[in-house]
Structure 1
């Protein structure tokens, strides 16, 4: 058992990953929409997307590490 699986059970991780995924689609769609319509991209959305990406790297890195079999 890894530290990640001890912190959050499988069902909790599935919910967290789903929320994270939907949040990413929502945040990512704002600048795409603005670029497609020549609208000004809100500054808050760029900041939120940057934080989202910053948090995602360690989150999914920990997931990958916890699912890698050790010898």
Structure 2
């Protein structure tokens, strides 16, 4: 059972958009720091690790639950 399918489709749409926006923001910081030869803040590295850890199982479960059964 995927916990995201408990939410109505419209709410999931906003949750996915919010998750993507957060990912874009977090992912942009290391790119900027690399381009300007600055160090990436430790909190950003930690936040990206948690972001990936939470996102992979949730969106994997969503994909599995939306895959047609043969």
Q: What is the TM-score normalised by the length of structure 2?
A: 0.90
Unpaired runs of at least 5, structure 1: none
Moved over 4 A (4+): none
2:53 is matched with 54
Question: What's the TM-score once normalised by structure 1's chain length?
Answer: 0.89
Mapped to 2, the partners of 1:62 and 1:10 lie a distance apart of: 15
Structure 2: tracts of 5 or more residues without a match: none
RMSD (CA atoms): 1.3
Number of residues of Structure 1 aligned to a counterpart in Structure 2: 69
Aligned to 1:37: 36
